[in-house]
Amino acid sequence: MAEELSWTAWSVLDGFPKLAARSLAELLDGGQAFRWNPAADGVWRGIWSNHVVELKTGSDGRLRWRTPEIRGAGVTAVQLRSYLDVDPAFEQRMEVMPWRSDPHLARCIESFPGLRILRQPFDETLLCFLCSATKQIVQIKQIVELLAKRLGRELAPGFFRLPNWTELASVSEAELRACLLGFRARYIHETAQFLAGQPGWLAETQALPYAEAKARLCLLPGVGEKVADCVLLFGAGRMEAFPVDVWIIKTMARRYGLESWKPVQIAHFGRVHFGANAGLAQQFLFAWERETAKKK
């Protein structure tokens, strides 16, 4: 089992800002990614692509990491920094968000220091958000774990990567349903068939300007505006993508007075009000609203 794995020593990830445990939890388990789980007290274990890694914050607030000493399952500091978007451009984006003129946004940012948008693989992000319709995070994680265990490749004992779209194309809808997908199984099955007949389609889509990329993603069965924006934000670093889900509808109504606005109107407001980094702002608002709901 996993206990037998040999891990590297813990080392500090240089360049990552100090962050509280709650920021780390929100970053890894707040709805951007679905493959992070507590491994021990304060330790998060996660998988993306063929990388396995553990993260924790020390008492000094600095981020520490370790990875299995197995060829093909580990991660380098460079890869980890990319995933966590450790980049001067990130600091710049934080700087130009309108928190100076938006006290609520300022409050949300102060509450989750270190929170950011992960840079996840495009294909895996699409798969995860095709699983997400009317599901809560716990359920999405359960589905995604089953997909990895049953259909993915084993990277190390007990650690499985997600199946890629080529592999998914040869999986029957019934097998997908067995992974608790329900009506989402058809979406994934049909998307896999479509992508199998269009080599390069995903990579081309990822390279397009935001509006065109979104329009193309919306052609896929099971992908509407919300899912497309999530895929572009969390899987392609498009900070202008502003996913409007029930939480954002709630928060924009309560904190910005947009009572009974429709999703498309809220999306427009978000792009205008928050600007080029609307998606990044959205993540802070989202974290705040979720925490507020939890406290009740």
Partner DNA sequence: TGACAGGGGGTGT
Partner DNA sequence: ACACCCCCTGTC
220 binding DNA? (CB under 7 A): yes
Q: Does 291 bind DNA (CB under 7 A)?
A: no
122: Cβ contacts below 8 Å, ≥ 6 apart = 202, 203, 206, 231, 235, 236
Closest CA to 52 of 102, 6, 119: 6
286 binds DNA (CB under 7 A): yes
132 binds DNA (CB under 7 A): yes
Number of helical (H) and strand (E) elements in the chain, helices listed first? 15, 7
Residue 21 contacts DNA per CB under 7 A: no
- Residue 142 contacts DNA per CB under 7 A: yes
Distance of alpha carbon 156 from alpha carbon 51, whole angstroms = 10
Three-state DSSP state, 53: strand
Nearer to DNA among residue 10 and residue 183 (C-beta) = 183
With binding defined as CB under 7 A, does residue 131 bind DNA?
Answer: no
Q: Is 245 in the site for DNA (CB under 7 A)?
A: yes
Residue 192 phi/psi, 5° resolution? -65, -40
According to CB under 7 A, which one of 114, 222, 237, 270 is a site residue for DNA?
222
Residues in the interface with DNA (CB under 7 A) total: 32
* Closer residue to DNA (CB): 35 or 81: 35
| Residue 112 structure tokens | 């989750």
**175 contributes a contact to DNA by CB under 7 A:** no
What values do phi and psi take at 64, rounded to 5?
-120, 150
Strand stretches in the chain, DSSP E? 11-12, 36-40, 43-48, 51-57, 63-66, 154-156, 159-160
Nearer to DNA, 227 or 239 (CB): 227
Using alpha carbons, select from 13, 226, 252 the residue that is nearest to residue 114: 13
Determine, following the binding rule CB under 7 A, whether residue 152 of this chain makes contact with DNA.
no
Q: How far is the CB of 219 from DNA (least distance, A)?
A: 8
Q: Which stretch binds DNA (CB under 7 A): 16-24, 45-53, 101-109, 243-251?
A: 243-251
Q: State the helix-helix crossing angle for 122-130 and 137-151, rounded to 10 degrees.
A: 120
Only one of the segments 83-91, 158-166, 205-213, 239-247 lies at the binding site for DNA (rule: CB under 7 A); that segment is 239-247
- Candidates 42-50, 118-126, 133-141, 203-211; binding stretch for DNA (CB under 7 A): 133-141
288 touches 107 (CB < 8 A): yes
- Give whichever of 15 and 221 is closer to DNA, judged by the CB atom: 221
Give contact residues for DNA (rule: CB under 7 A). 30-31, 132-139, 142, 177, 180, 182-183, 187, 218, 220-228, 243, 245-247, 286, 290
